[in-house]
Structure 1
C-alpha cells in the first residue's frame, strides 16, 4: 500500500477532521495551542510538478493527518466544554484508568509499578505522548483505550520475557503472553511500509511468534 493511500485510508486530513467536528481549522489549532488536542500523527510535504494547458510549474503542498479515533476525543472536548489543559488531562486520565480497570477485571496483570504505585506519573507521561501524536501513529485509531492496551500489553510481555531477551517462556506463562499479544493485536497499527520493520507490531507480535513459537490466532 502506497503512503498516500495508507494515510488517506486510515487518517483524517485537517480539513476532514475539522469538518467532522463542525469547527474551523483555526479552532482546532487553538485546541492544540491550549494542549487540549493532539498534534498531527503525520505531516506530509509534497514537491509537485504540474503540467497543464498553461505550461509546467512547480509548487509545494503541506498536509497534516490525524488518527480517525481523534474525532471521538474532539467530541468529548465539545461535550464537556473543556477549555483548560488540566481538565482535558483529567478526562484523559479517567478514560485511561477505566480501560485499565476493565483489563484488570479480565485477569490482565503486571508487576510494573507504572500500573499501580506510579500510575499517576505514568498517565501524565502518556498524556504528553498522546498530545505529541505518538498514539495516532502506533495505534489503529488513536483511541485512549488503545493506548492503554499497548502500554499494558508491552509491560506484561516485558515482565515475562525479560524485555524479550529470555531464551524461552515457562509453560504456565505462555497463556499470559498469548493474551497480552492478543491485547496488542487489537490496538497496534499496521504502520506504513517504511515503518513496519521497526514497528511495535513487528517487535511484540511477529518476532515473538517466531522466537517463542506462539500464535495469536
Structure 2
C-alpha cells in the first residue's frame, strides 16, 4: 500500500476553488442563490392576511382599567376551542384550520383585540377573521352581567388585495445574499497557494549563516 507523501488529500471542490479568483466565487454564489430564491418565491403559494378588530367597552358599573384587563383576557381566549367551535360555522372551515391560521394580538394601552387570519384565498382570510371576531363577541355578551364589560365590533376584516407573503424579488434578494455569504465561506476554507521553486521544492529562505556571510562580503 503506497502512502501519500503530501498528507491527506483535500476535497476536490476546495482544490478547484483554489484556482479561481476570489470575486468569481462570490459572484457565482450570489447568482446561484438569487436564482434559487427567485424560483422559490415563484413556486410558493402566496398567502393573504386579513385583520378584524373588537374593542372592550365598560358599562356604568365598570371603568376603563377593567375594560383593558378584560381585553387582554379576551385576546388569550379567542383562539380557544370554545370560541373556534362557534366560529367554524360562519367561516366554513374546520376548527383545525382556524387554530393554525388565526392569531390574536392585544395592546397594553388600548382595550382592543386584533384578530388576524392567513389563507391562500383572500376571501377566506377575511371570512375567518370576521367569524372569530363574531364568536368572541357573542361569548363576551354571555358574561357581560358578571364582567360589566361589553365587547363590540370595531372594524371588520376586508378582503386583501395583495399577498402578505414575500415576493419573488425579495426571496431572490435573500437568496443572493445567502449565496454570496456561502461563497465567502468557501474563500475562507479553500487551500492557500504554495510558494515553490521551479524544481518543485519549497522556496528556501536564507538562514542566519548565509545572511552573515553575505554581510561579510559587502
Higher helix share: 1
Report which of the two structures shows the higher radius of gyration computed on alpha carbons: 2
TM-score, structure 1 length as denominator?
A: 0.24
TM-score using structure 2 length:
0.24
